[in-house]
Chains A and B, each alone.
Chain A
Amino acid sequence: MINALGRPQTVLLLGGTSEIAQAVVAAWARTCRPLVVLAARPGPRRDAAAAHVESLGLEVEVVDFDAERTEEHPALIDAVSREHDIDVAIVAFGVLGDEEQAWQDHAAATRLARVNYTGAVSVGVCLADVMRRQGHGMIVALSSVAGERVRRSNFVYGSTKAGMDGFYLGLGEALRGSGAGVLVVRPGFVRTRMTAGRSPAPLSVTAEQVADAVVRGVARRDELIWVPAPLRGVMSGLRHVPRPLFRRLPL
């Protein structure tokens, strides 16, 4: 159960090697001791992520998960839910890819779409089913400001996040009254392994800042948060900038 002050007892990390997911778990570990079910592809990165969770003093269970193998998702999430109530599920997987390659390389573009959008929709449907049966729970969807207004510079990635973001906002509405909730998190530029080598945009944040915002958002049962919060204002302005002007902005 998530207690009155927002502390979960079991957390499922889909994309458990993600730095943000790891940072969220570390943030909880400072205040409570949730069991972490770490879902990721087998390999050294998953081993390292599991070891990190253990080093935080938390119990960890590891399950095989590949965002692209959507046909396996229902059985996987059902199996996890049979063992534990899933108090919080964090949809943390995603790929960024090379922006210019992405729209010119068929394989790269469709992979981005499969992982970031199709994979996210797939687990979202399964999680919603489980949480409705549980009568409680929270799905945290790690979206991105990139999806709020899709820019020329990374439009393949941005479009997958726009789709994913829209799906989870809608899922949150659909789950209203079921006891389950959805928190859509829109971070700005996060300085992580995924963005290494890219020059940080203004208002960039660390994985830890995103993590603190997620922990707070779960406690408050929020539906949508921006990290950092001022991005909300910035983006709502940018959203309405006319296209000819928008294309000239150094974004």
Chain B
Amino acid sequence: MSEQSPGKGSGQLAGGGRMLAGWGRTAPTVATTRRVADGAAEVAELVRRAGPRGLVARGLGRSYGDPAQNAGGEVLLPLPTRIEHEPDGRPGTVRVSAGTSLHDLMAELLPRGRFVPVTPGTRYVTVGGCVACDVHGKSHHVAGSFGRHVVSLELVLADGSVHEVGPDRDPELFWATVGGMGLTGVITSAVLRTIPVESSWMTVTTTRHPDLDSVMEEMRTGDRDVTYSVAWIDTLARGRSLGRSVLTRGEHARRDELDTSAAARPLVAPGGARLRVPPGVPGGLVRPLTVRGFNEAWFRRAPRHRTGELQPLAAFFHPLDGVADWNRLYGPRGFVQYQCVVPDRAADTVALVVDRVARQGHASFLSVLKRFGPGDEAPLSFPMPGWTLALDLPARAGLAPLLDELDRLVAAVGGRVYLAKDARLDPARLPQMYPRLADFRSVRRRVDPTGVFRSDLARRLGL
């Protein structure tokens, strides 16, 4: 089981309502939560009985903003973990309940020499959430996003009917559900393709880059030859050091690459969080000064160039999962993650964005830069070929106009922001960033004409 209960940053209230917030803890609202014990039939019944403010499913509450909140309405808590290996005799696939976390799934897969096809920066996310957000990972440039690896989905629609959809079965509804932020129906289970691995270790190459140009050039030329690649940028560095970064690349280690201690336990599941932010820790530790110090130390600590370092899988993919509740370090006012993507031809915009943030002195802990490969057919899917940058920014005065300005820069070059991270986009900008929004809406009108599936995100952006 995962160590983390659903809906961190939330609390049960008298009267059945429950305060729910996203991982950024910025805009909590109250909904009636429903725990689902079984499967699609029970979900279908809850969907049929949904009240006037509708319903949305929630996983582990790791979306930064409000897609898994439904103020005044109902929120379904994740279905229990269920994993079936090789359903229908198809090798390398699993059927999992939508509430299964990637943490639990890895624990099942790794001893069998398999791994999840795509993992975001935390494994405390559910499979249902991974589909609904069409998540991507450090391998997007070669593996694409999560939706590409889904064989089929079991989906409860607004009328309570249960459907099996896939790229070959009602593809229109399938792709609207991938990246659809839970608004086409409740995903109750998914069949996924997994990938083979020889070990639960990674061979990692780390290089330090003095500025943005250097790291982007390296990623532009070298990423195609590696499976996993990500750069961590110090967004507070200015001037000639603007965009200085540490590029980390990895491959699943082969058995013959393991040293003796790793070889003794080649296939182990990642453990739980070792640290927890104590309840008494004051909020607001994330300030420009502390972040500057941390980023400096972190940059200096990284080796200039090191190849072939063996790292446990969790350390490579999910360094922050080692500290439970790290979001609380941002204090009660929370934080916003700004993740945008710009096409290849607009690489300059990445530098513009980093420059704007550095100039304004908004403190972002180590920000993440990645190259995306081709996107998929999902109308609301975030990735497109190009560059994606993610910044964690404390919610404080002056942030709103800065992010509005970044939106303008990003939208002007045909880029967009990620809805799984968004908490503040101007709804008027959405159609520009997601030109296929109309396709999504038309599917939604077909399968949910009365708007049973609703969320705070949907209300806020008029999805």
* Alpha-carbon distance between A133 and B13 when the two chains are bound, in angstroms: 14
Report whether A3 and B17 are in contact in the complex, using a CB–CB cutoff of 8 Å: no
> Which of these binds chain B: A4-12, A61-69, A226-234?
A4-12
Q: Does the CB pair A135–B72 fall under 8 Å?
A: yes
List, in ascending order, chain A residues with CB within 8 A of B366's CB. Answer: none
> Contacts A179-B17, A179-B71 known; A4 to B30 CB distance under 8 Å?
no
The docked-state distance in angstroms from the alpha carbon of A179 to that of B28 is 7
How far, in Å, is A70 (CB) from chain B's closest CB?
Answer: 25
- The A-contacting residues of B in range 10-43, CB under 8 angstroms, are 11, 13-14, 17, 19, 24, 26-31
Q: Is the interface of B mostly helix, strand, loop or mixed?
A: loop
B13, B14, B397, B423: the one contacting A3 at CB < 8 Å is B423
Contacts of A133 in B (CB 8 A): 72
Quick check: is A220 within 8 A (CB to CB) of the other chain?
Answer: yes
Per-residue 0/1 for B423-459: is the Cβ within 8 Å of any A Cβ (1 yes, 0 no)? Answer: 1101010000000000000000000000000001001
Inter-subunit contact B397/A216 (CB<8 Å): yes
When chains A and B are docked, how far (Å) is the Cα of A133 from the Cα of B70? 12
Per the CB 8 Å criterion, the residue count for chain A at the interface is 23
- Residues 37-94 of A at the B interface (beta carbon under 8 Å): 85
Tell me the nearest residue of chain A to B399, going by C-beta.
A5
In this assembly, does B179 line the interface, its C-beta being within 8 Å of a C-beta of chain A? no
**Assembly CA distance A178 to B28 (angstroms):** 10
Q: Restricting to A1-49, which residues have a CB under 8 Å from any CB of B?
A: 1-7, 9, 31-33
Could you tell me how many residues of chain B have their Cβ less than 8 Å away from some Cβ of chain A?
36
Interface flag for B61 (CB, 8 Å) = no
Does the CB pair B73–A135 fall under 8 Å? Answer: yes
B70 cross-chain contacts in A, Cβ below 8 A: 135
Residue of A nearest to B335 (CB): A4
Q: A135-B31, A177-B19, A179-B29 are in contact. Are A1 and B459 (CB under 8 A)?
A: yes
B395: interface (CB < 8 Å): yes
Interchain CB contact under 8 A, A136 and B401: no
Say yes or no: A7-B17 contact (C-beta < 8 A), given A1-B71, A135-B29, A135-B31: no
B53 proximity list for chain A (CB < 8 A): 134-135
Interface flags, A212-225, vs B, CB<8A=1, else 0? 00001001110000
Pick from B17, B395, B459: contact of A85, CB under 8 Å: B459
B211 at interface by CB-CB < 8 Å: no
**B78 located at the interface, meaning its Cβ lies under 8 Å from any Cβ of chain A in the complex:** no
Q: How far is the CB of A7 from chain B (nearest CB, A)?
A: 7
Contact A4 B423 (CB under 8 A): yes
Check if B82 is an interface residue, CB within 8 A of chain A: no
Q: Which residues of A contact B456 (CB under 8 A)?
A: 1, 136
Report which B residues bind A (CB closer than 8 A).
Answer: 11, 13-14, 17, 19, 24, 26-31, 53, 65-66, 70-73, 333-334, 336, 395, 397, 399-401, 403-404, 423-424, 426, 428, 456, 459-460
- List 15 other contacts, CB 8 Å, given A4-B424, A9-B460, A179-B30: A1-B66, A4-B24, A5-B336, A31-B401, A33-B428, A85-B71, A135-B70, A135-B71, A177-B11, A177-B14, A177-B19, A178-B13, A178-B30, A216-B397, A219-B397
Nearest first, the 4 closest Cβ-Cβ pairs linking A and B are A179-B30, A4-B423, A4-B26, A135-B72
A/B interface sample: 27 pairs, CB < 8 A? A1-B29, A1-B71, A1-B456, A2-B27, A3-B424, A3-B460, A4-B27, A4-B66, A4-B395, A5-B403, A5-B423, A6-B400, A7-B400, A31-B404, A85-B459, A133-B72, A134-B53, A135-B53, A135-B70, A136-B27, A136-B72, A177-B11, A177-B14, A178-B13, A179-B28, A179-B71, A219-B397
